[in-house]
């Protein structure tokens, strides 16, 4: 089983890219692989994914601009 350990949304020349890391464990919970990395570009026709990324970005911007 793969367990997500982190992810990031990156703006680059190809648009938005999702990079993520994960660990792999077996059915007993033993760690088999650690800190594996993968990435993919958010394509224009992936409306659900684009909406999710935009929502996350808006939440971060709102928090970033809150008054202390």
What pLDDT was estimated at residue 25? 98
CA distance 56 to 39: 17
Residue 68 has pLDDT above 80, yes or no: no
Looking at the chain, the number of H-run helices and the number of E-run strands are: 1, 3
Q: What is the pLDDT of residues 41-58, one digit of tens each?
A: 999 999 999 999 999 999
């Amino acid at each position: 089983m793969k367990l997500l350990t982190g992810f990031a949304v990156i703006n680059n020349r190809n648009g938005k890219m999702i990079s993520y890391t994960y660990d792999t464990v077996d059915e007993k919970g033993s760690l088999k692989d650690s800190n594996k990395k993968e990435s993919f570009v958010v394509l224009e026709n992936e409306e659900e994914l684009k909406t999710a990324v935009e929502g996350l970005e808006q939440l971060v911007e709102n928090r970033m601009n809150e008054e202390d």
